[in-house]
Amino acid sequence: MITRIITGIIGIALAALVIQTGGMLFAGFALVLALLAWFEYVRAFSERGMGLTFATGLAGITLLWYAGRFGNAELMMAASTLILLVILLETVLRHSATSIMDAVTSIAGVFYFGFPFAYMVMLRDMQPGVTIFTSLGAFEFGAALIWIMFIGTWASDTFAYFTGSAIGRHKLCPSISPNKTVEGFLGSVVGTTASVAGLGIFFSLPVKELALLGLAISILATLGDLVESVAKRYTGIKDSGNIIPGHGGVWDRFDSVLFTAPLVYYFVKFVGLAM
């Protein structure tokens, strides 16, 4: 527990530095995390005897990140098409090493990690030059959005855990994640909605819209966690890795964010939070 707490404190301090700095530092960290998560994913499915397209996946995730770094939707579509075709072609060119199931699972993994981290970069770079002034100082608009995404996701996990531990009685998805309860999920919904609405007040953003975003984050964060649980049950692993002492692997720590990052990006784009 001490290791977990110390690692958490260091992680939050590092996250604050990277988020507030933005630019290439933030984008670079996003790429490194995406590639580490891909490595864990490939290693997990190797437990089932699958040989995923590791090198092509690294290149594909980097290409999606590059498109996101420059906010180029057309390039991202082109990159997606190229990734899909190249990985499928490996079943022909390297048919003795890459089966069709290896290829399909690889494509899923590249998109699963590549898109969300690219969306994180685009979210951080949104509305450059726009500054929000708060009681704790100035925040670039993109930095505020990243904090909303991360704090909302962390709130979802935290409220679900403590509510479930205190009053959880009814299992939410016992065949996938035995420890999750309906009560914990409801606690997550209420707590996350309130937390993100509070961030709306803090950042002087529309509170009703932020409350709706908080509700959506609590649902998507839970689903993201369950998706990784399904994958871990299939591959037979307990944790995706041990690179983060006391917290497991990158995939373990970002399983919910993989779903909430695209959510926040499109919510801001289409609900009208952009300033």
Residues 61-84: tens digit of each pLDDT: 999 999 999 988 899 999 999 999
Identify the H or E element spanning 81.
helix 73-93
Give per-residue pLDDT as tens, 205-223: 999 999 999 999 999 999 9
| More confident site: 97 or 150 | 150
52 neighbors 15 (Cβ within 8 angstroms): no
**Are 207 and 163 a contacting pair, CB within 8 Å?**
no
Give the model confidence (pLDDT) of 237-263 as tens digits: 988 888 877 678 999 999 999 999 999
Of residues 108 and 275, which shows the higher confidence score?
108
Same domain, 76 and 196: no
Measured from the Cβ of residue 33, the count of other Cβ atoms closer than 10 Å reads 19
**According to the model, what pLDDT value does residue 275 have?**
57
pLDDT of residue 1: 63
Percentage of the residues of the chain whose pLDDT score is greater than 90? 85
Together in a domain, 54 and 156: no
Residue 29 has pLDDT above 90, yes or no: yes
117 with 199, same domain: the answer is: no
Residue 134 sits in the same domain as residue 266: yes
Q: Which domain holds residue 183?
A: 130-275
Is a pLDDT exceeding 60 seen at residue 197? yes
Residues 259 and 171 grouped into a single domain:
yes
Read off the pLDDT band of 274 (50, 70, 90).
low
Look over the chain and give the mean of its residue pLDDT values, rounded to a whole number: 94
What's the structural domain count of the chain? 2
Whole-angstrom distance, CA of residue 33 vs CA of residue 113? 9
If pLDDT is split at 50, 70 and 90, which confidence band does 34 have?
Answer: very high
Q: Phi/psi class of residue 61: alpha, beta or left (left: φ > 0; alpha: ψ in -120 to 50)?
A: alpha
Instruction: Identify whether residues 150 and 258 lie together within a single domain.
Output: yes
CA pair distance 117, 3, nearest whole angstrom: 27
Phi and psi angles of residue 140, each rounded to the nearest 5 degrees, phi first: -65, 150
Question: Which string of b and e fits 148-182 if b means at least 16 CB within 10 Å?
Answer: bbbbbbbbbbbbbbebbeeebeebbbeebbeebbe
Q: Is 171 helix (H, G, I), strand (E, B) or coil?
A: strand
